[in-house]
Structure 1
Amino acid sequence: AGFFFALVITLPVYLFVLSVLPKSLFRRFPFRALARLGGVLEFTSILFSPFLELGARVGKLLLPGHAGKRGRLFAAREEVKQITTESEREGALTATERAMIHSVVDFRGSKVGDVMLPSAKVAALQSGASTKEALELSASTGLDRLPVLAPDGQPAGLVNVMDILLERNGNKPLGEYVRRIVTTTDDEPTYRVMQQLRGARLGLAAVVDRKNNFHGIVAIEDLVRRLVSAGNA
């Protein structure tokens, strides 16, 4: 009887307090929770590192034939997609989960050239343009982020029209509103450019060649759209 009552009391505590609640909190506030627990996790990792090192050495002694060999879990992206498709058929994954995994796998294999907008279709400003011209171009195209090109055709920066509209003195030269712009190449992986744009807090990157000649732009919205739709391609 005592074991039964102990099970009845501890099982809900284990399920909700030690399992459901932590997972829910980390899903709801992932970065905030990670920032607060980062020090604890790092301390725990350092504390148990001697035991991990000891276990690794014991493993090498017991299994000398496997020492120094790191087999790949998956040989190629297509193998990952095949395994997830089989898992969906067996009921281990839902169709949504399978599509999400396929999207991430395909996204990591895509290049900027697959997503970029060619320079011939880009609405850009010249470095000598005025703020009035920037506002007119934004109004005619419906774009709020416009690349700025130097006289030699190389990307010189980025103008966010909202900066001009929020400025009380709108008579400032356009150069006062020009921000730096992230540059990339058409063979750069799309996931890497997305990381750069998020780190720089910019929504647009200029695509250039090895001589820094302007070839087009890639927007973070296009990268996200590629990530979402890759699994359905």
Structure 2
Amino acid sequence: MEGQSLLPNLLGLLAVAFLVVLNAFFVAAEFALVSVRPTRIAELVANGNQAARWVARGLENPDRFIAATQLGITLASLGLGWIGEPALAGLLEPLVERLPVEIASTVSRTLSAVVAFGTITFLHVVVGELMPKSIALQSPQRTSLLVGRPLAWTTAVFKPLIWALNGTGNALLKLLGIRSAEGSELVHSVAELKMIVSDSAEGGVVADSEEEMLHAVFDFRETLVRHIMSPRTEVISITAEAGLEEILKTAASTGFSQLPVYQDNLDHVIGIVHLKDLLDAILNDGSSTARELMRETLFVPEAARIDTLLKIFRARHQHMAIVLDEYGGTAGIATLEDLLEEIFGEVSDPFDRDVEIQPLPDGSSLVNGLTTIADVNEHFELKLSDPHYDTIAGYILGRLGRLAKMGDTVVADGARLRVVAMDGRRVSRVWVFPTASAKPQTEE
């Protein structure tokens, strides 16, 4: 008789073990589905992985599959409370009654129930919840591949019930004025994508150089033409009446393959001479002028975005544009090379004679005055800023509040800047010495 009375309780314990495992399965499935990378699953599907096909189905309709996991977790939890506690209490009660201390029957049942409840709760939380969650979060891909097929079967079996529950939930949300989520609406912002790239770089998946290029791509759309152009003072140009010899000498001395052509002054650029056209003219007649050789040029405002300029270059098959200021005058020129350098960094041209940042043995550097503040900040890890100027020379002028002269020094937050070369009234070279202890000030 005693054996017969124990049998239901033993069967109940087996049911407890099954329900805990079932709960763990659905918890692991839920966290695996929301953690796994869809791109990785798509790659596995493309490679013929059959298990990945089941996961891909779940990712196509995550609402239905997540609802299936929630339904499974709920039913398993209810089953543990309904079957588990009475079965375990029934096994514990005879043991409690055999204690040397005489315990009343009511107290015995109560104590057994409390111990049984605590044990079931412990198993439910630790084995049925925390452990599968940790496993799924640590290995979402492997876990999702294991649970994909059985979860799909479960979803198919309970499809009517899942449909009814989802429909009821969405209807209640609609009454509250809350829009229900339709499928996967996970979209990363640019800032989040940068963080993902940085995390990948820290983990060794992405090289440092690749990280810099990817960050530059994300920032590409926000950069204005005025930030990357060669300013007017650096533009090498020729007059419309210049002959072939003068054009050839200018091209040879500068190394430029394209030269702007102006009428009267640089504010009236009327075209661009290409080196190829120049060489053709020399080989043919040798008597042409810049006006006869020039091609149509592009004009863009300095406030245009560089991604827009890149589209124009591609559409017009040109590599140079004249940048205009707000008054219609020439502010500078922008080339395809300038755009590419925003992504790939400084491109060393064999004809470039001026290095923007030249490191010195003592840790300081000589910097071209036309180097942008952003480039100086990136190179020296500084946080210089000025709302009115884009270049380091302009930054110094803004801090001084007057025209600069040789020897002028500005001590910024983290660096000492000294004017070491002038080109007329323009600051052409700046000595930069990074120093963490520097406090912002100016020196004569």
TM-score normalised per structure 1: 0.63
- Counting only pairs closer than 5 Å after superposition, residues 1-233 of structure 1 correspond to structure 2 as 15=47, 65-66=179-180, 73-75=187-189, 77-90=190-203, 93-95=206-208, 97-151=210-264, 153-167=267-281, 168-229=284-345, 233=378
Q: 1:66 to 1:130 in 2, by over 3 A?
A: farther
Q: CA deviation at 1:177?
A: 1.1
Runs of 4+ aligned residues of structure 1 deviating over 3 Å after TM superposition are 87-100
Q: Secondary structure at the match of 1:166?
A: helix
Q: Which has the higher contact order (CA 8 A, sep 6+)?
A: 1
Work out the CA distance in 1 between the residues paired with 2:323 and 2:336.
13
Q: 1:181 to 1:66 in 2, by over 3 A?
A: farther
Work out the CA distance in 1 between the residues paired with 2:252 and 2:217.
35
Work out the CA distance in 2 between the residues paired with 1:72 and 1:203.
38
Unaligned runs of 5+ in 1: 1-13, 17-61
Q: CA deviation at 1:90?
A: 4.7
Q: CA deviation at 1:112?
A: 1.2
Q: Secondary structure at the match of 1:172?
A: coil
Work out the CA distance in 2 between the residues paired with 1:207 and 1:186.
6
1:90-132 per-residue CA deviation (whole Å, 9 max, x = no partner) reads 5664545433321201222211111111111111112222222
In the alignment of these two chains, the number of paired residues is 173
Work out the CA distance in 2 between the residues paired with 1:126 and 1:67.
64
Work out the CA distance in 2 between the residues paired with 1:97 and 1:171.
50
Unaligned runs of 5+ in 2: 1-45, 49-166, 347-374, 379-444
Give aligned-pair identity as a percent: 25
Q: Is the 8 A contact 2:241 2:289 kept in 1?
A: no
RMSD, matched Cα: 3.1
Q: Which residue pairs with 1:25 in the alignment?
A: none
Q: Which residue pairs with 2:163 in the alignment?
A: none
TM-score normalised per structure 2: 0.35
Q: CA deviation at 1:155?
A: 1.7
